[in-house]
Amino acid sequence: MRFVELATRNFKEMWRDPISMGLEIGIPAGFLAIFWSLGRNMGDQSFLTITMLVPGMAVFSFAFLLMFSAILLARDREGALLSRLLTAPLKPHDFILSYSLPYIPMVILQIAVCFGIGALLGLEVLGNAGLAFLILLVMGICCVGLGMILGLLFAAHQASGVGSITITLVALLGGIWMDLKMIGGVFYDVGNALPFAHAVDAVRDIIVHGAGFNDIATDFYWVLGYAVVFFALGTFLFRRRMVE
């Protein structure tokens, strides 16, 4: 259970960093309110309704967490803290747990904030809210796994750049504030190959149409598959990093 110490440290790093908190909570909350207001002014035909925006903004907020987790790990590598930790009797799974578990409370908070603001702005969930939470939780964990990979592959200044690109890609190809079908063509295919749009669409189906697990099973397993692949790759990279 030695990983608990390192996990606790990573948890504190995140909660004590005001920029991280602002990006992970403040921006999605602010954007949600702004786009909702924009949608209201655009009229009834607008895509920017609260039911469409809440799932998208929750997934969008995970992209900021992804960037933070990547930068923290990259900084630890650069500042030699990771080298120091790698000389301790910790195993690869200790590192994986330490650099992923602390972010799960943030994922839960991000979901709660998006749904909480949504509720204030009139969101009604027709289907099982627990199921919506589950798929978003898996999506959040998937983003944490991707952040770990970026943190192991890139330097801190590169990780922030790659993280920004990822945030933009999530926004554009995840169908966050527009229907992916409207983009069409190869972008639609790429968006559909990635997990983000699947998570967003599944939660929208739950909220709007009251979809059950069988209806969104493909989307769920698509997101879960990515999470498994990202964590497997993260473990491989950590194992490789442990002894150069």
Partner 1 sequence: MSYRTNGNRFAIQTFSLSRKFGDLVAVNNIDLSIKEGELFSLLGPNGAGKTTAIKMLCCLLKPSSGTATIMGHDINEDPMAVKQIIDVSPQETAIAEHLNAWENLSLIGGIRGLAKEEVKERSEELLEIVGLTKRAKEQVRKFSGGMKRRLSIAMALVSDPQVLFLDEPTLGLDPQSRRGMWEHIAELKGKTTILLTTHYLEEADALADRIAIIDEGKIAALGTPQELKDSISDMQVMVVKAKNLTPGAIEGLKEIYSEVKATEDGIEIRAKELSFYEIVDYLRPRGIAIQSVSLKQPTLDDVFLHLTGKELRE
Interaction site with partner 1 (CB under 8 A): 2-6, 8-9, 12-13, 16-17, 79-81, 83-90, 243-244
C-beta of 103: minimal distance to partner 1 in Å?
A: 15
Q: Which is nearer to partner 1, 5 or 189 (CB)?
A: 5
Q: Which is nearer to partner 1, 23 or 142 (CB)?
A: 23
Report yes or no: 69 and 107 within 8 Å, Cβ to Cβ.
Answer: no
Best CA proximity match to 98, nearest among 196, 14, 195: 14
- Measured CA to CA, the distance from residue 122 to residue 53 in angstroms comes to 12
C-beta of 77: minimal distance to partner 1 in Å?
A: 11
- Measured CA to CA, the distance from residue 104 to residue 192 in angstroms comes to 25
C-beta of 62: minimal distance to partner 1 in Å?
A: 22
Best CA proximity match to 62, nearest among 193, 167, 149, 201: 167
CA 197 to centroid of chain Cα atoms? 12
DSSP string spanning 179-210? -HHHH-HHHHHHHHHSSHHHHHHHHHIIIII-
- Measured CA to CA, the distance from residue 227 to residue 154 in angstroms comes to 20
C-beta of 235: minimal distance to partner 1 in Å?
A: 17
- Measured CA to CA, the distance from residue 227 to residue 100 in angstroms comes to 12
Phi, psi (degrees; rounded to nearest 5) at 178 = -160, 155
Q: Which is nearer to partner 1, 80 or 182 (CB)?
A: 80
Q: Which is nearer to partner 1, 42 or 81 (CB)?
A: 81
As given in the structure block, the two tokens for residue 111 are 């979901």
Q: Which is nearer to partner 1, 40 or 75 (CB)?
A: 75
Report yes or no: 137 and 227 within 8 Å, Cβ to Cβ.
Answer: no
C-beta of 141: minimal distance to partner 1 in Å?
A: 23
C-beta of 179: minimal distance to partner 1 in Å?
A: 40
Q: Which is nearer to partner 1, 186 or 243 (CB)?
A: 243
C-beta of 81: minimal distance to partner 1 in Å?
A: 5
Q: Which is nearer to partner 1, 70 or 117 (CB)?
A: 70
